Amino acid sequence: MNKTSNLFRRPALFRRQQRLFRMDRFQKFLVVFMTLFSLLMLIPLVYIFNNALKPFQELFAFPPTLFVRHPTLHNFLDLIAVTQSSVTPISRYLFNSIVVTGLAVVGVTVVSGMCAYPLSKMKFPGHNLVFGTILLTLMFAPEAVSTTRYIVVTHIGIMNTYWAHLLPLMAAPVAVFLFKQFMDQIPNELLEAGKMDGAKELTVFFKIVIPMCMPAVATVAILTFQAAWSNTETSSLFMQDESMKTFSFYISTLVSGASANIARTGTVAAAGLILFIPNLIIFLIFQRKVIATMAHSGIK
């Protein structure tokens, strides 16, 4: 197996070398420049990880250093010690975040896909107006509709419930746009063939359309995960019960309280790293799907 795999790898490696040799000087300069630029963009990631591992002396050293010299886990231990003084255990906040984020990813993906499917394939009267209205909502900042959201959530009686966490996230115009643009690339003949075989609309949607839109599904899942995992608005506006608030809200209140204390600067850095790691892992897993979705959606 190893010899066979090496035989398949050699032509690919040879083609890459040939492509590199065929580049002119300007193209080679661009390759070197973009490589250095990509390394420059990694500096914030390096800073986040190193800052969380720095002892107190290195956090306030002058001149400041990018890399930690004497890494320590004291900042994380201090974070655990601070959370132990809370009335509500940190495991409850973490459980709420996991439940809300998981349900939000599934809900936004299904709702946005089912909204984009008729806009792309059924062409009902006024579908362009509906799609234009959805795109128009991208112009509104979240702060502009926070009062309206609070009034709606209050009147339908879902305060202090998981529904109050989920429903504000269900309206995702970016997800509808990505799904609609991706579904436009699917041939109508393929869907008609499925219907001729006796498949109903839901069967066509879940068995044909969704499998062909997996890059868009992955992209929407990443965007929804990032929005739901770091969301603090629903906890601060719709939750009076402390046991219904999320992990990100708890960390934000912990950080805001510790930021005034110079001795807790390392604790703030550790909390920021904990919130950042899940987003980084999800993005690294599905980054190729994101690129494929942007290529098919018309975003350049």
- Quick one: tokens of 290? 């994101």
Q: Closest Cα to residue 102, out of 224, 196, 277?
A: 224
Q: Is 83 in contact with 251 (CB distance < 8 Å)?
A: no
Res. 10: pLDDT tops 90:
no
Fold of 83-296: MetI-like fold (1.10.3720)
Res. 104: pLDDT tops 90:
yes
- Quick one: tokens of 193? 């063939």
pTM given for the model: 0.76
Res. 98: pLDDT tops 50:
yes
**Length of the chain in terms of residues written:** 300
- pLDDT tens-place string over residues 207-253: 888 888 888 888 888 889 988 998 888 888 888 888 888 888 888 77
Choice among 114-123, 230-239, 263-272 with the minimum mean pLDDT: 263-272
Res. 169: pLDDT tops 80:
yes
- pLDDT tens-place string over residues 280-296: 888 787 776 666 555 55
What are the Cα distances from residue 116, in Å, to 86, 142, 181, 203, 268? Answer: 44, 22, 9, 16, 41
Q: How many CA atoms lie within 13 A of 149 on its CB side?
A: 21
Q: What is the pLDDT of residue 127?
A: 81
Choice among 19-28, 169-178, 258-267 with the minimum mean pLDDT: 258-267
Res. 103: pLDDT tops 90:
yes
Q: At 25, phi and psi to the nearest 5?
A: -65, -40
Cα–Cα distance measured from residue 18 to residue 37, given in angstroms and rounded to the nearest whole number:
24
Q: What is the pLDDT of residue 11?
A: 56
Residue partners of 275: CB distance under 8 A and separation at least 6: 229, 230, 247, 248, 251
Q: How much is the average pLDDT of 74-79?
A: 82
Q: How much is the average pLDDT of 268-277?
A: 83
Res. 194: pLDDT tops 80:
yes
Q: What is the pLDDT of residue 299?
A: 43
More confident residue, 254 or 140: 140
- Quick one: tokens of 4? 């066979």
In degrees, rounded to 5, the angle at the alpha carbon of residue 52 between the alpha carbons of residues 37 and 34 is 5
> Which band of pLDDT confidence, cut at 50, 70 and 90, is reported for residue 76?
confident
- pLDDT tens-place string over residues 140-161: 877 778 888 888 888 988 888 8
Q: What is the pLDDT of residue 132?
A: 86
Mean pLDDT (the chain) is 80
Q: What is the pLDDT of residue 300?
A: 39
The helix (H) or strand (E) run that includes residue 14 is helix 2-21
What are the Cα distances from residue 182, in Å, to 134, 167, 227, 284? Answer: 16, 25, 22, 22
- Quick one: tokens of 19? 């492509």
Amino acid at 36: L
Q: What is the pLDDT of residue 3?
A: 47
Res. 26: pLDDT tops 80:
no
What secondary structure, in 3-state letters, does 61-108 show? CCCCCCCCCCCCCHHHHHHHHHHCCCCCCHHHHHHHHHHHHHHHHHHH
Q: What is the pLDDT of residue 110?
A: 92
Q: How much is the average pLDDT of 130-145?
A: 82
Res. 15: pLDDT tops 70:
no
Q: Is 160 in contact with 240 (CB distance < 8 Å)?
A: yes
Q: Which of 50-64, 99-113, 248-262, 266-280 has the highest mean pLDDT?
A: 99-113
Q: Using omega within 30 degrees of 0 as the cis cutoff, is the peptide bond preceding 55 cis?
A: no
Cα–Cα distance measured from residue 77 to residue 264, given in angstroms and rounded to the nearest whole number:
12
Q: What is the pLDDT of residue 262?
A: 63
Torsion of CA 260, 264, 268, 269, to 10 degrees: 130
Q: What is the pLDDT of residue 188?
A: 85
- Quick one: tokens of 204? 């066509």
Torsion of CA 299, 100, 285, 190, to 10 degrees: -60
- Quick one: tokens of 76? 């994380």
Cα–Cα distance measured from residue 16 to residue 2, given in angstroms and rounded to the nearest whole number:
21
